[in-house]
Chains A and B, each alone.
Chain A
Amino acid sequence: MNESMIISLLLGSLAAMVPIALTSIGAVISERAGVVNIGYEGILMFSAFFGAMFAELAGNGWVGLLGGALVGLLFGALHGFLTVYLKGDHVIPGIGLNLLGYGAVAFGIRAYWGTAGQHQVPNNAQISPLWMDAFGNALSPMVPITIAIAVIAWWVLFKTPFGLRIRAVGENPEAADALGINVELYRFTAVLIASALAGVAGAYLSVDWLGTVTKQIAAGRGFIALANMVFSGWNPLIALGGAFLFGFFDNLAIYIQNNPWLAGTIPWQFIATLPYVVTLIVVAGIIGRARPPKWDGRPYKRE
Chain B
Amino acid sequence: MNLKDELRGYVKPVAESVLAILIGAFIGALVLWFSGYSPFEAYYWLIRGSLTSVDGIAETLAKSAPLILTAITFAIGARTGLFNIGAEGTVYFGAMAAIIVTQYLQNPIAGLLAGLLIGALWALPAAVLKVYRGVHEVISTIMFNWIAFFIVSWLAVSVYYNPKDPNSTLPIPPSARLPLLVKNTSLSWAFIIAILAAVIIFIVMWHTKLGYELRTSGQNPRAAEYGGINPRRSAIWSFVIGGMTAGLAGAGIVMGTPPSYAITQGLANVYGYGFDGIGVALVGRNHPLGIIFSGILFGALSAGATAMQQHAHVPLEMIKVIEGIIIIAVAVPGLIDLFARLFRRGGA
Which of A6-14, A90-98, A160-168, A189-197 lies at the interface? A90-98
Q: Which residues of A contact B322 (CB under 8 A)?
A: 103
With known contacts A270-B154, A273-B146, A283-B140, A93–B328 Cβ distance under 8 A? yes
A126 and B318 CA atoms in complex are apart in Å by 28
A78 touches B318 (CB 8 A): no
A272 and B153 CA atoms in complex are apart in Å by 11
With known contacts A103-B318, A270-B150, A273-B147, A96–B134 Cβ distance under 8 A? no
A143 and B73 CA atoms in complex are apart in Å by 40
Asked if B151 is an interface residue, CB under 8 A from chain A, the answer is yes
With known contacts A111-B315, A279-B139, A287-B133, A100–B328 Cβ distance under 8 A? yes
Number of interface residues of A (CB under 8 A): 45
Q: Which residues of A contact B134 (CB under 8 A)?
A: 287-288
Contacting residue for B315 out of A102, A106, A273, A276, CB 8 A: A106
Nearest chain B CB to A84 CB, angstrom units: 12
A91 touches B138 (CB 8 A): yes
With known contacts A279-B143, A287-B133, A103–B324 Cβ distance under 8 A? yes
Interfacial residues of chain B within 141-183, with CB under 8 A of chain A in the complex:
142-144, 146-147, 150-151, 153-154, 158
Closest to B328 in A: A96
Q: Which residues of A contact B142 (CB under 8 A)?
A: 220, 223, 226-227
Q: Which residues of B contact A29 (CB under 8 A)?
A: none
Nearest chain A CB to B128 CB, angstrom units: 9
A95 and B153 CA atoms in complex are apart in Å by 25
Asked if A89 is an interface residue, CB under 8 A from chain B, the answer is yes
Residues in A lying within 8 Å of B, measured CB to CB: 38, 42, 78, 82, 86-89, 91-93, 95-104, 106-107, 110-112, 215, 220, 223, 226-227, 230, 267, 269-270, 272-273, 276-277, 279-280, 283-284, 287-288
Q: Mark B271-306, 1 if CB is under 8 A from A, else 0.
A: 000011011001000000000000000000000000
Closest to A219 in B: B146
Contacting residue for B129 out of A78, A95, A223, A284, CB 8 A: A284
Contacting residue for A99 out of B150, B324, B333, CB 8 A: B324
Residues in B lying within 8 Å of A, measured CB to CB: 35-37, 83, 85, 129, 133-136, 138-140, 142-144, 146-147, 150-151, 153-154, 158, 275-276, 278-279, 282, 315, 317-334
Closest to B158 in A: A267
**Top 6 A-B residue pairs of the complex, sorted by shortest distance between their CB atoms:** A103-B320, A100-B324, A96-B327, A106-B317, A96-B328, A92-B331
Q: Which residues of B contact A283 (CB under 8 A)?
A: 135, 139-140
In the complex, besides A99-B279, A280-B144, 11 extra interface pairs with C-beta distance below 8 angstroms are A82-B328, A86-B332, A95-B279, A97-B328, A106-B315, A107-B315, A111-B315, A220-B146, A230-B136, A276-B144, A276-B147
Q: Which residues of A contact B276 (CB under 8 A)?
A: 99
Contacting residue for A92 out of B143, B321, B327, CB 8 A: B327
Q: Which residues of A contact B320 (CB under 8 A)?
A: 99-100, 102-104, 106-107
A107 touches B321 (CB 8 A): yes
6 A-B pairs with CB atoms under 8 Å apart are A95-B327, A96-B328, A99-B276, A99-B278, A103-B322, A111-B36
With known contacts A111-B36, A270-B154, A104–B324 Cβ distance under 8 A? yes
Q: Which residues of A contact B139 (CB under 8 A)?
A: 223, 226-227, 230, 279, 283
Nearest chain B CB to A253 CB, angstrom units: 9
Closest to B320 in A: A103
B143 touches A276 (CB 8 A): yes
With known contacts A104-B321, A107-B318, A287-B134, A99–B327 Cβ distance under 8 A? yes
Nearest chain B CB to A87 CB, angstrom units: 6
A95 and B280 CA atoms in complex are apart in Å by 12
B83 touches A103 (CB 8 A): no
Which of B279, B320, B331: most chain A Cβ within 10 A?
B331
